[in-house]
Amino acid sequence: MIRHATPADVPEIHRMIRELAEYEKSLDEARASEEQLHEALFGERPAAFAHIAETGDGEVAGFALWFLNFSTWRGVHGIYLEDLYVRPGLRGGGYGKALLTELARICVERGYERLEWSVLDWNTPSINFYKSLGAKPQDEWTVYRLTDEALTELGSR
């Protein structure tokens, strides 16, 4: 049901990223190309990793795309889950849980002490799902982001 993504999966991952962006009402922000994804996942120095969830008949049900982070407080790596997506018609079939279980297994196997991700505050179905797995919101932290003109301006000083 869960397997490592291969280069042949890049077009399908790209489609699902766009589906996710549409669900999150941010399709115009999903600018990554298939070529960029291929380089990030399978280039000379991969910066990200992906797992694919498949149905019993080989249909792609969803994916998890993640990268390593590092905790200065714990002194070890962790996994940051950038995207977790299960296609709407297949939700409730255990695919999301299976993907998260695989990432948790990788953390335990490698001695990583955190598996973290962000969720939009209006996405109640996902929030409830994550809480059912024992995940805890980090309400005391606020995410900040620099992009586009603000990033260019600051980086050009």
Active site residues: 130
Backbone angles phi, psi at 23, to 5 degrees: -60, -40
The CA distance from 1 to 121, in Å, is 29
Tokens encoding 62: 């969803």
- State the residue for tokens 């669900």: 23
Among candidates 29, 7, 8, 6, which has minimal Cα distance to 17? 29
